[in-house]
Amino acid sequence: MSTHLLRHAVATVAYRGGKTLRGAPAEFSSFRPKDGSRSAGEILAHVCDLYDWALSLAEGAQKWKNTTPQKWDQDTARFFEALGKFDAALAARELPADLVQRLFQGPVADSLTHFGQIAMLRRLADAPVAAENYFVADIAAGRVGAAQTAPRKEFA
């Protein structure tokens, strides 16, 4: 896997993750399907931690920190900030192929799993995310901020 392909995967996370985060009700951060499970806000804070960790890995100094969830809008902003820093590090230089593969299989793939969880929690909380044909979505390496293009084909 090339660094460019990893950057496209990160842009995909921005697009799909952003869609999952936008429009969530204010109280959604505390939603959990049952006692003992992670709340939506705890999952989002974990995703932010993943991208802080990914940046440290890309820079050669692995560092992990568990953070406490903030308000939904604050952690949403934190997600895009962390993703932007990670993407900038990827854009700065070509990383070794084995590191690129491990970044994909670790933090990037893990975040996609967690956005699937958040999407499911949105449905359970009566605030579903519209389904979409992501194959035709306008996703481009480097576009990792909150501003994303409109969906090309959503389903009812």
Q: Is residue 149 part of a domain?
A: no
| Residue 108 to residues 24, 30, 83, 115, 118, Cα–Cα distance (Å) | 22, 24, 10, 11, 15
Contact criterion met (CB below 8 Å) for 154 and 129 = no
- Tell me the backbone φ, ψ of residue 72, rounded to 5 degrees: -50, -50
Q: Is residue 32 part of a domain?
A: yes
Please tell me the predicted confidence (pLDDT) of residue 133.
Answer: 96
What crossing angle do the helices spanning 40-58 and 109-124 adopt, rounded to 10°? Answer: 170
Please tell me the predicted confidence (pLDDT) of residue 96.
Answer: 95
Task: Show the low-confidence residues of the chain (pLDDT under 50).
Answer: none
- The letter for the amino acid at 84 is G
3-state helix, strand, coil in the chain (%, to 5): 60, 0, 40
Q: Is residue 142 part of a domain?
A: no
- Assign residue 103 the CATH number of its domain: 1.20.120.450
pTM of the model: 0.95
Q: Domain of 97?
A: 3-136
Portion of the chain with pLDDT greater than 90, in percent: 97
**Domain total of the chain:** 1
Distance CA 105, CA 82 (A): 18
Please tell me the predicted confidence (pLDDT) of residue 147.
Answer: 95
Distance CA 29, CA 118 (A): 10
Distance CA 10, CA 140 (A): 9
Q: Is residue 151 part of a domain?
A: no
- Tell me how crowded residue 67 is: count the other CB atoms within 10 A of its CB: 13
Q: Is residue 54 part of a domain?
A: yes
Please tell me the predicted confidence (pLDDT) of residue 49.
Answer: 98
Distance CA 126, CA 114 (A): 18
